[in-house]
């Protein structure tokens, strides 16, 4: 073997070792060995205070980046309950799915009864939910991100009756404000135990006035209700009204001031548990720091070569004037920041599509994206939109409007860059049937999600060209609807003043009809892309001809192929 080939194969071996390490690096504390799926903790949540937004709304997001999870949605109506009635608690895994032939997930979860029934409240609010509860008819909104915890805190025993999905649904049912939602979830988790399917979790919890970052963790497998101790440890910090924050699967709350009740809430064991478990020594002279005690995350965007760069990227996007460096340790980023400019809902939607283009972690830099600059080829850097999303949500809670009109959850199915956000007001009484069906393993045109995956699949072949067709569609079907929201608000308010039920019918009709229109448009868009870029030629349906020279791989890619061929050619004797 000549020297050139020896160097080449040595480099490839080093690359293989590095990539293997990259797959296991950056996991949250305690998560090793407890993962059902590789790299499942991939959700990004953005939080926007009311004075940091263009229209005065609070906003949250959730990128549900699982890759194999249930994507179905349903609407749960409001209900009144008789005195003495109870609410059954089921174990609801974020990740478990069933074949559609067996039924819908939200019926099948009832087979896994936890054995616990809790006292029902007199009235439960209506809400929309997917994997979690996202928006109720009082404008309480939620976004989620897994943050992990110290290994010894995990409690997967049957004693822990509540998981994070169930907690969000209980909050939707019982809370009229963000603070109430946090207290509902925290108190129930303390009483009945938290964990089983889940470990450390973050929820962005908002109402029209406030947005809070709430983190909750189990307290270890030895906990029992009979111990008299809290079955969970939790802490919540309010985002200042003129600030924005983010949770990219990393604990975000640092030092806490429980005397400042306007900005902090916590369970009674917030510090004592850390002391008991040896995570914090009060004699050290250092102040208690929530994330350093319960869920420390080492490294920076630079030191991990982009595997944990979402923290840096968010702060760089919203406050570029502050010149945050990729070398700054993620644990040292501020809890929140005042953005350089106020954010619109479209700004936030666009942020969920961010791929770190033009940064040191650009997934299409050099030859990473192939001849057509596909950002999905190189996934060693974890960007905000990495293509695995089941769906993404952007919630808006808006003061000055009736709750049923002020609250909106925008839903986008599949990878954000090739999908379209569709609005659903808090007062909507039904979701499209196509939102309630489908899974990853069975293709069906009855499922809304498959329409977006269908288009996405055809974009991948010639990404740099086909994404332009998607972006043109987004101008019409997404930006166009964003622009129409004030008009829809006005009409809904007029009807609400006459009769709230009329406003609900109007909003339901508008949202369902718009979603059906978008889903149909994306099925057609997928068909059009298949025809237009068939066989990697450019087919014109108008002219009924094709251009076999386009879309052509760029010359730099051809040169790279030739150079690699020369590098890898057999030794000449």
Q: Single out the residue of 318, 306, 326 nearest to residue 382, CA to CA.
A: 306
CB atoms within 10 A of CB 16: 10
CA distances from 154 to 32, 196, 269, 541 (A): 11, 8, 16, 58
Residue 6, pLDDT score: 42
Full residue range of the structural domain in which residue 326 is found? 13-530
Low-confidence ranges of the chain (pLDDT < 50): 1, 3-40
Torsion of CA 407, 412, 413, 416, to 10 degrees: -150
Q: Per-residue DSSP letters for 242-254?
A: T-EEEESSS----
467, 417 Cβ separation under 8 angstroms: yes
Residue 552, pLDDT score: 86
- For 544-559, the pLDDT digits (tens) are 988 888 898 899 999 9
Residue 54 lies in a domain: yes
Residue 163 lies in a domain: yes
Residue 5 lies in a domain: no
Residue 572, pLDDT score: 55
Residue 284 lies in a domain: yes
Residue 548, pLDDT score: 83
Structure tokens at 235: 């802490």
Residue 138 lies in a domain: yes
Residue 154 lies in a domain: yes
Residue 469 lies in a domain: yes
CA distances from 256 to 235, 241, 252 (A): 9, 18, 11
CA distances from 473 to 256, 459, 462, 476, 516 (A): 46, 13, 17, 5, 15
Residue 552 lies in a domain: no
Angle between helices 500-532 and 463-474 (to 10 degrees): 150
Please tell me the pTM assigned to this model: 0.92
- For 253-307, the pLDDT digits (tens) are 999 999 999 999 999 999 999 999 999 999 999 999 999 999 999 999 999 999 9
The total number of structural domains in the chain stands at 1
Q: Single out the residue of 249, 35, 216 nearest to residue 147, CA to CA.
A: 249
92, 166 Cβ separation under 8 angstroms: yes
- Beta strand pairing status for 408-413 and 422-425? antiparallel
């Amino acid at each position: 073997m000549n020297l050139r080939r020896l160097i080449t194969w040595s480099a490839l071996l080093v690359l293989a070792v590095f990539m293997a390490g990259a797959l296991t690096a950056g996991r949250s504390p305690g998560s090793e060995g407890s993962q059902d799926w590789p790299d499942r903790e991939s959700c990004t949540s953005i939080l926007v205070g009311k004075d940091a937004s263009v229209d005065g709304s609070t906003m949250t997001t959730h990128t549900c980046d699982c890759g194999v999870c249930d994507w179905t949605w349903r609407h749960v109506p409001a209900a009144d309950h008789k005195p003495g009635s109870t609410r059954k608690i089921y174990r609801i895994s974020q990740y478990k799915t069933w074949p559609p032939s067996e039924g819908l997930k939200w019926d099948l979860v009832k087979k896994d009864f936890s054995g616990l029934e809790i006292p029902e409240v007199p009235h439960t609010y209506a809400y929309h939910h997917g994997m979690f509860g996202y928006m109720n008819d009082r404008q309480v909104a939620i976004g989620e991100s897994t943050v992990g915890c110290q290994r010894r805190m995990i409690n997967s025993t049957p004693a822990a009756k509540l998981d994070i999905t169930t907690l969000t649904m209980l909050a939707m049912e019982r809370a009229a404000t963000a603070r109430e939602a946090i207290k509902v979830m925290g108190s129930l988790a303390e009483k009945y135990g938290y964990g089983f399917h889940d470990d450390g979790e973050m929820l962005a919890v908002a109402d029209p006035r406030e947005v809070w970052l709430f983190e909750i963790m189990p307290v270890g497998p030895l906990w029992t209700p009979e111990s008299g101790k809290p079955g969970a440890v939790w802490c919540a910090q309010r985002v200042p009204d003129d600030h924005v924050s983010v949770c990219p699967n990393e604990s975000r709350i640092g030092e806490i001031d429980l005397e400042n009740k306007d900005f902090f809430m916590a369970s009674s064991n917030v510090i004592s548990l850390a002391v008991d478990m040896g995570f914090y020594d009060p004699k050290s002279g250092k102040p208690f720091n929530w994330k350093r005690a319960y869920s420390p995350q080492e490294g920076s965007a630079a030191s991990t070569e982009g595997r944990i760069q979402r923290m840096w990227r968010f702060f760089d996007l919203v406050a570029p004037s502050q010149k945050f460096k990729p070398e700054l340790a993620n644990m040292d980023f501020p809890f929140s920041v005042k953005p350089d400019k106020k954010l619109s809902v479209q700004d936030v939607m666009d942020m969920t599509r961010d791929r770190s283009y033009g940064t040191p972690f650009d997934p299409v830099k050099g030859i990473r994206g192939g001849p057509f600059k596909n950002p999905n080829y190189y996934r060693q850097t974890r960007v905000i939109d990495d293509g695995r999303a089941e769906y993404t949500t952007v919630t808006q809670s808006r003061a000055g409007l009736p709750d049923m009109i002020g609250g909106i959850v925008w839903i986008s199915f599949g990878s954000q860059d090739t999908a379209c956000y569709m609005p659903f007001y808090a007062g909507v009484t039904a979701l499209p049937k196509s939102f309630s069906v489908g899974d990853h393993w069975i293709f069906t045109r009855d499922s809304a999600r498959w329409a977006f995956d269908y288009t996405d699949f055809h974009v991948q072949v010639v990404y740099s060209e086909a994404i332009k067709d998607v972006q043109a569609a987004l101008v019409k079907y997404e930006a166009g609807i964003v622009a129409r929201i004030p008009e829809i608000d006005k009409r809904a308010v007029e009807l609400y003043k006459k009769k709230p039920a009329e406003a609900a019918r109007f909003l339901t009709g508008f949202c369902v009809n718009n979603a059906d229109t978008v889903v149909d448009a994306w099925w057609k868009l997928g068909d059009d892309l298949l025809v237009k870029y068939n066989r990697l030629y450019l087919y014109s349906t108008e002219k009924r001809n094709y251009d076999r020279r386009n879309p052509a791989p760029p010359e730099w890619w051809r040169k790279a192929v030739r150079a690699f061929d020369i590098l890898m050619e057999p030794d000449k004797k």
